[in-house]
A and B are shown apart, each in its own frame.
Chain A
Amino acid sequence: MARDSESGLPIEPVYGPEALEGWSPEEKLGDPGRYPFTRGVYPSMYTGRPWTMRQYAGFGTAVESNARYKQLIANGTMGLSVAFDLPTQMGHDSDAPIAHGEVGKVGVAIDSIDDMRVLFGGIPLEKVSTSMTINAPASVLLLLYQLVAEEQGVPADQLTGTIQNDVLKEYIARGTYIFPPKPSLRLIADIFKYCKAEIPKWNTISISGYHMAEAGASPAQEIAFTLADGIEYVRTAVAAGMDVDDFAPRLSFFFVSRTTILEEVAKFRASRRIWARVMREEFGARNPKSLMLRFHTQTAGVQLTAQQPEVNLVRVAVQGLAAVLGGTKSLHTNSFDEAIALPTDKSARLALRTQQVLAYETDVTATVDPFAGSYVIEKMTDDVEEAATELLARLEELGGAVAGIEQGFQKGEIERNAYRIAQETDAGERVVVGVNRFQLDAEEPYEPLRVDPAIEAQQGERLCKLRAWREQSEVDSALEQLKKAAEGEDNVLYPMKEALLARATVGEVCNALREVWGTYVPADAL
């Protein structure tokens, strides 16, 4: 009897050749690095070198985070990935009333160029690529990064990295939105154009499904809703006058990897195939790079438990393996204590070691897309592709991703799935080791990382000094220029850079834009 996959698709106990009757490897697979890219976006994938080990990190002030980054680099991380605190992610300064209690808690507090300089102090930005998980204020942090690099003597055209910059998924699943959809999309188009001209090696967006999966989306929903967002961004950029091949090569994606290896591998392969087809057929992209779905993966945080947390080491290893078998370009592995608090030095190191074991002690990197031709994997790839394509079509009927968001479609589907998972877990149908089976009578105590609450006051003091030191009239006039650009059609990043150079704060820049664009108010009710 078949068992249901996470997407509700059947998994047969035994597969045979009949599962692939009529299946054409030329049409469905192609070679690695060739359309439709099912097997991977590059011809040699990991046989040349492993995926990028890119561990997400950040907490407290720039000083602590800078130290953690240097530690990670010493331990073998291949690229940086910055976690910002919630006030920064929401475009507020550390001394804003709404920031009280939140400063430095889930990531590093960055209020100005002074903080950014400390964050990357002693880190050579011409050598290290940096991914920044920042969305509504992505432009602000990108420009701060560029300014700090320029201070280091590194020209912008040498900078490599990514900004997440995916506001649509914020409305759906993550919550760090500021402005309504229309100006948010305009801002994203401005970023695409700015980067094409000024920071050409930068990945301008990381179109994300990770957060939707964490919110409860099934694998099919995860890729359908993500690709729908991608389609919306491409349409936005094209409508803003860009040629698809001008920006599409710098789009990137971000998915989750769960412990359900088979369906995850199928999911990744299906997503590459669908995107390649959409880009070629709907948008007429000609550059092969425009058709390549390059993605980062993070292991599923929501699958981790606070009970018997060491078991999470095992979960993360399995999840990491799923991502690697699926051909991820870069990978973040969670630390085992993350259902409790932010990682300690040791747990962060262990998470990185997990990837190093996968890369150097297994043989999965010896050949590209090792599951190709497998009955179950090819059948599941086709099935996930079909389910995701159907959902994409439904969204298209509603009018696309933004229309879907306004109607609460994606959120509703995700919440329904989240509830189903909660019910299955409660009923014991879905086993969670250590939680509803194999529990301990008494858990061992665990001392989590604590963020020093004095940080909030420290940041407040830094802001006072900054505001006293800088030339206020310069800041004021730069912010006026920014507002003028926001009201019109000029690219806002140029005046924004001037404002940040004059030491306008993250909050001040975002507040200026709030004045022009307003803030998003969701129609969120049960």
Chain B
Amino acid sequence: MSQLRLVVAKPGLDGHDRGAKVIARALRDTGVEVVYTGLHQTPRQIVDTALQEDADGIGLSILSGAHMTLFAEVLRLLREEDAADIPVFGGGIIPEGDISELLGLGVAAVFTPGTPTRSITDWVHTHLGREAVA
């Protein structure tokens, strides 16, 4: 099985990267190759990075309340690029009520505060990658 490669991204203007960095490090510790985009990424930049890196998934971290806009835009651009098969997941400060809407838009999973890091890495290994079946 080839190594999973994921893009972990900070879309929009939110500068809080603790969660993204902790998850990225935890993923790396489980053998995932992580490309961390840095701050202030536009959805366009994130999708381009994912395509360039031939990523198996994209993780978005959003604490700014702009999650509906930013997740939707990333999904839209992936469809435009004919890359809607790249799963998008993420977390941050996202009210419970918005999660079902995000899942409805096509987000694969949303992990909110309190989720054990282990749950996220387990989910990634179970659900992503060339071995995983849709």
Interface residues of A (CB under 8 A from B): 86-87, 89-90, 92, 98-102, 105-106, 170, 174-176, 214-216, 302, 305-307, 339-342, 415, 418-419, 422-423, 425-426, 432, 434-436, 445-448, 451, 522, 524-526
Measured between beta carbons, the chain B residues less than 8 angstroms from A175 are: 14-17, 39-40
Is A306 a contact of B113 with CB atoms below 8 Å?
A: yes
B84 to chain A, nearest CB (A): 21
Whether B22 and A105, one on each chain, are in contact in the complex, defined by CB atoms closer than 8 angstroms, is no
Flag whether B25 is at the interface (Cβ < 8 A). yes
Q: Convert B90-110 into 0s and 1s, putting 1 for each residue whose CB lies closer than 8 angstroms to a CB of A.
A: 000101110000000000000
Residues of B within 8 A of A (CB): 12-18, 21-22, 24-26, 28, 34, 36, 38-40, 42, 64-66, 68-70, 93, 95-97, 112-114, 116-118
Taking a contact as CB atoms under 8 Å apart, the answer to whether A101 and B66 are in contact is yes
- A426, B118: Cβ atoms under 8 Å? yes
CB-based contact B113/A339 at 8 Å: yes
A contact face: mostly helix, strand, loop, or mixed: loop
A165 to B113, CA, bound (A): 29
Q: Give the distance to chain B from A456, nearest Cβ to Cβ, in Å.
A: 9
Q: A418-B22, A426-B116, A435-B114 are in contact. Are A341 and B36 (CB under 8 A)?
A: no
Question: Residue B65 contacts which of A105, A176, A423, A524 (CB distance < 8 angstroms)?
Answer: A105
Q: Chain A contacts of B24 at CB under 8 A?
A: 526
Do A448 and B113 touch across chains, with their CB atoms under 8 A apart?
A: no
B15 touches A176 (CB 8 A): yes
B36 near A525 (CB under 8 angstroms)? yes
Residues on B with beta carbons closer than 8 Å to the beta carbon of A305: 113-114
Query: Is there contact, CB below 8 Å, between B25 and A419?
Result: yes
Chain B residues with CB under 8 Å of A341's CB are 65, 93, 95
User: In whole Å, how far is A401's beta carbon from the nearest beta carbon of chain B?
Assistant: 18
A56 CB, min distance to chain B CBs, angstroms: 15
Q: Does the CB pair A170–B15 fall under 8 Å? A: yes
- Whose C-beta in chain B lies nearest to the C-beta of A176? B15
A100 and B28 within 8 A (CB): no
Distance in angstroms between the alpha carbons of A435 and B114 in the assembled complex = 6
Determine the residue in chain B with the shortest Cβ distance to A105. Answer: B65
List the B side residues contacting A105 at CB < 8 Å.
64-66
